């Protein structure tokens, strides 16, 4: 479990880098208790599981639940003395791994609308399940860094092309056949190495991961994007007889589709998206959503990296009812809601690395939106930038002297200026200074 940052570190305004992510079996200590992260298999939860998670959050934690940018779910404020009860409850609903090591490497993000989206090229859920199983059952792979991740994308409307991953699997069409392209992360883009049949895609991704574990790494926490040319060449060789990808393969682009409310594809109602304001919901909201979904027999709830939950919508009446329930429960159901454009970490006092109440600041900013030329905003309690790794149009980074302002960058970038927290009540005036 993490230690409190030293006085020297705090005085310097430096973040504490842990190099790993919490899990259920390896929780992390924060300012409001333990964080227990749940990695739902294939990114989906049944209504019975959701009810149980809400009960765990209320009974053993502080009743708050965070949705993460890795499409996981975190129970906050868990009492350390109640961990055995939490583990027992998670085991009863099939949401705990055999060991902390197996859990820590099972970082697989799958298309949230897999099997629901008629525009997807392939239902990638079997690939994701096979990949998760192999990671959990292959002890040599437990040496992968804790933040090493996979993306498995079926190529539908809500693509994962803008979500960073060490190894990426993407459904494509080549010579009128569906193939799975495999790519690796580099500092500037995804490098597509080859393509394979869907039936062999999980095994091919595992070969890449095994080659990474065997090969040299630049630091103990190295990711694929940190490797030198020689190590990258080893990964390229690991695919063996994979077909080369099409020369025109270029998939790294954000999805422009709306992610909350009614999700329609070719005028067909597919699902509804319910956003968690600033990534957080209450246990009562979570259990209320489970009840509403069960009433309409809507099946599993899908998680996403956009801190939005998805449910299939059988009929227009189901969609209307579930959206109304979501709005009553405090979810975001309108794509025009400014909170959708803001990523914010838990902030102080929940996080011991944070210098400010980021959620209060984010809501102050949301009340002033829209802001000219600003489409995305990141409010971070420190320079780690846990809530968002990719650049945002406007980044506010809390520190000992106030909020650092970064334009079109990340939380780790040098700020263009530092302003007092009180200045955020008139953010347009701050931005007019030319920052």
Would you state the structure tokens that stand for residue 142, as one six-digit string?
Answer: 């437990």
User: How many Å apart are CA 189 and CA 342, to the nearest integer?
Assistant: 24
**What CA dihedral angle connects 219, 222, 224 and 227, to 10 degrees?**
-10
Cα within 13 Å of Cα(383), Cβ side: 16
Render pLDDT for 114-170 as a digit per residue (tens, 0 to 9).
999 999 999 999 999 999 999 999 999 999 998 999 999 998 999 998 898 999 999
d(C-alpha 381, C-alpha 348), whole Å: 7
Average pLDDT of the segment spanning 295-306: 88
Question: Do 54 and 125 form a contact (C-beta atoms < 8 A)?
Answer: no
pLDDT in tens, 221-248: 578 998 888 888 888 888 887 788 776 5
**Of 1-10, 169-178, 298-307, 341-350, the least confident:** 1-10
pLDDT tens per residue, range 317-335: 999 999 999 999 999 999 9
Of 411, 412, 417, nearest to 435 by C-alpha is: 417
In the structure, what pLDDT confidence band is assigned to residue 2 with cuts at 50, 70 and 90? very low
Q: Is 242 in contact with 195 (CB distance < 8 Å)?
A: yes
In our burial notation (b when 16+ CB lie closer than 10 A, e otherwise), range 400-427 reads eebbbbbbebbbebebeeebebebbeeb
Whole-angstrom distance, CA of residue 158 vs CA of residue 303: 12
pTM attached to this predicted model: 0.90
Using left for φ > 0, alpha for ψ between -120 and 50, and beta otherwise, residue 429 falls in alpha
């Amino acid at each position: 479990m993490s230690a409190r940052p030293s006085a020297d570190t705090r005085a310097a305004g430096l973040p504490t880098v842990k190099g790993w992510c919490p899990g259920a079996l390896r929780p992390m200590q924060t300012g409001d208790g333990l964080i227990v992260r749940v990695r739902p298999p294939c990114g989906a939860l049944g209504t019975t599981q959701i009810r149980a998670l809400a009960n765990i959050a209320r009974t053993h934690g502080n009743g708050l639940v965070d949705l993460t940018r890795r499409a996981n779910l975190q129970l906050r404020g868990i009492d350390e003395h109640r961990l055995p009860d939490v583990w027992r409850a998670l085991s009863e609903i099939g949401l705990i791994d055999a060991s902390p090591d197996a859990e820590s490497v099972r970082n697989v993000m799958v298309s949230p609308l897999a099997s629901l989206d008629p525009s997807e090229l392939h239902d990638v859920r079997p690939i994701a399940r096979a990949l998760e199983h192999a990671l959990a059952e292959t002890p040599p792979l437990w040496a992968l860094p804790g933040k090493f991740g996979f993306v498995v994308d079926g190529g539908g409307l809500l693509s994962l092309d803008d979500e960073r991953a060490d190894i990426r699997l993407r459904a494509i069409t080549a010579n009128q056949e569906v193939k799975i392209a495999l790519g690796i992360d580099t500092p500037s883009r995804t490098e597509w190495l080859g393509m394979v049949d869907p039936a062999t895609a999980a095994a091919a991704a595992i070969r890449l991961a095994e080659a990474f574990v065997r090969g040299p790494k630049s630091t103990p926490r190295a990711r694929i994007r940190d490797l030198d040319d020689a190590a990258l060449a080893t990964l390229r060789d690991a695919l063996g007889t994979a077909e080369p990808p099409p020369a025109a393969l270029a998939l790294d682009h954000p999805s422009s589709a709306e992610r909350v409310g009614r999700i329609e594809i070719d005028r067909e109602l597919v699902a509804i998206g319910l956003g968690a304001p600033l990534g957080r919901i209450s246990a009562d909201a979570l259990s209320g959503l489970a009840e509403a979904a069960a009433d309409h027999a809507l099946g599993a709830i899908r998680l996403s990296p956009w801190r939005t939950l998805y449910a299939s919508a059988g009929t227009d009446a189901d969609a209307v009812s579930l959206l109304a329930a979501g709005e009553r429960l405090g979810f975001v159901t309108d794509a025009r809601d400014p909170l959708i454009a803001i990523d914010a970490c838990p902030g102080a006092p929940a996080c011991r690395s944070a210098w400010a109440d980021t959620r209060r600041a984010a809501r102050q900013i949301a009340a002033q939106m829209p802001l000219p030329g600003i489409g995305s905003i990141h409010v971070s309690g420190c320079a780690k930038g846990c809530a968002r790794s990719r650049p945002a149009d406007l980044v506010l980074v809390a520190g000992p002297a106030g909020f650092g302002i970064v334009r079109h960058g990340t939380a780790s970038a040098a700020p263009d200026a530092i302003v007092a927290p009180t200045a955020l009540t008139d953010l347009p005036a701050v931005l007019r200074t030319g920052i």
